[in-house]
Amino acid sequence: MTGFVYLVGAGPGDPGLLTARAIELIGRADVVLYDKLIPREALGFAPEGAELVDVGKIGGGPQVPQEETERLIVDHARAGRTVVRLKGGDPFVFGRGGEEAQRLLAARIPFEVVPGVTSGIAAPAYAGIPVTFRGAASAVAFVTGHEDPAKPETAIDWDALARFPGTLVFYMGVRQLPRIAAKLIDAGRPADQPAAIVDRGTFPEQRSLAATLEALRERAAGAGIGAPAITVIGEVAGLRDELGWFERRPLTGRTVVVTRARAQASALAARLREFGAQVVEAPAIRTEPLPVTVPAI
């Protein structure tokens, strides 16, 4: 009996951006094949006994080949299991979900696609950058900053991107940022146009940096910005200093350990996260009300 596969977007990292449908399906899964960039809390919704398999990839780090990931999806589904392929962001936005859907179709395995919040919108928003803005950007283009190395030549039309009348959002382009900036400037994009880079967008440790397009490549390297990051190029990037909210919260950059029992810690932990803290729950104590003795009269 063939199982069923759900290609599920887990959003950009903040567990609050998981969709209700994603949480529901994780809770019904027999197997969850997950990426590195999913919210850490997402796996906590899986039922006890579910098989959790890390098939993530990080540029420059350990890699699980895409072919192996697709083989695992098919094998588990053919064994009659309910499979959740949990992907950071959205499955169909630079997530290779389309390739996995084609593989499932060829294997005659039923599937469903569950969209997620893509980091190309969420990370700029958490940095205070609206990717569209009346009078400044009526269009937005999503571009990969890390093309398939097996391709004989680039599929990116740099001249067209330089002329694009709106916001450019580059995914996965940190190491390629000097090349991206040079290509755009050489093709006519203004070197002094506002630009920004958002490192680990929507995660508690998010950092963002704004500069001109020409200066950003050097400033990002000097600040130690690394993957995963989103680069935004366009007039809207200049709004970061005005509208940035996430990194201004009072506990941003602080780590708080909550030692209460988990059932008692959840409300406190949630409140601390709202103020920007990275919360580590380490249940060690439990608080209980003291008995009150009423003296006899």
Q: What is the pLDDT along the chain (297 residues), one digit of tens a residue?
A: 789 999 999 999 999 999 999 999 999 999 999 998 899 899 999 999 999 999 987 555 567 899 999 999 999 999 999 999 999 999 999 999 999 999 999 999 999 999 999 999 999 999 999 999 999 999 999 999 876 555 556 789 999 999 999 999 999 888 889 999 999 999 999 999 999 999 999 998 899 999 999 999 888 888 888 888 999 999 999 999 999 999 999 988 888 888 877 667 778 888 888 888 888 888 777 667 777 777 776
Same domain, residue pair 103 and 128:
no
Q: Is 1 a catalytic residue?
A: no
Q: Is 57 a catalytic residue?
A: yes
Same domain, residue pair 72 and 145:
no
Q: Is residue 291 part of a domain?
A: no
Q: Where is the domain boundary, 99, 117, 135?
A: 117
Same domain, residue pair 20 and 89:
yes
> Would you say 202 and 12 are in contact if contact means Cβ atoms under 8 Å apart?
yes
Q: Is residue 191 part of a domain?
A: yes
Residues 31, 73: Cα–Cα separation, whole Å: 9
Q: Structurally, how many domains does the chain consist of?
A: 3
The partner residues of 256 in beta bridges, in order of sequence, read 279
Catalytic residue among 30, 35, 90, 199: 35
Q: Is 151 a catalytic residue?
A: no
Bridge pairing between strands 51-54 and 82-87: unpaired
Q: Is residue 139 part of a domain?
A: yes
Residue 273 is predicted with a pLDDT of 83
Residues 133, 153: Cα–Cα separation, whole Å: 34
Q: Is residue 296 part of a domain?
A: no
Q: What string of H, E and C letters represents the secondary structure of 158-216?
A: HHHHHHCCCEEEEECCCCCHHHHHHHHHHCCCCCCCEEEEEECCCCCCCEEEEEEHHHH
Catalytic residue among 14, 30, 87, 172: 172
> Would you say 129 and 243 are in contact if contact means Cβ atoms under 8 Å apart?
yes
Q: Is residue 62 part of a domain?
A: yes
Catalytic residue among 36, 57, 159, 183: 57
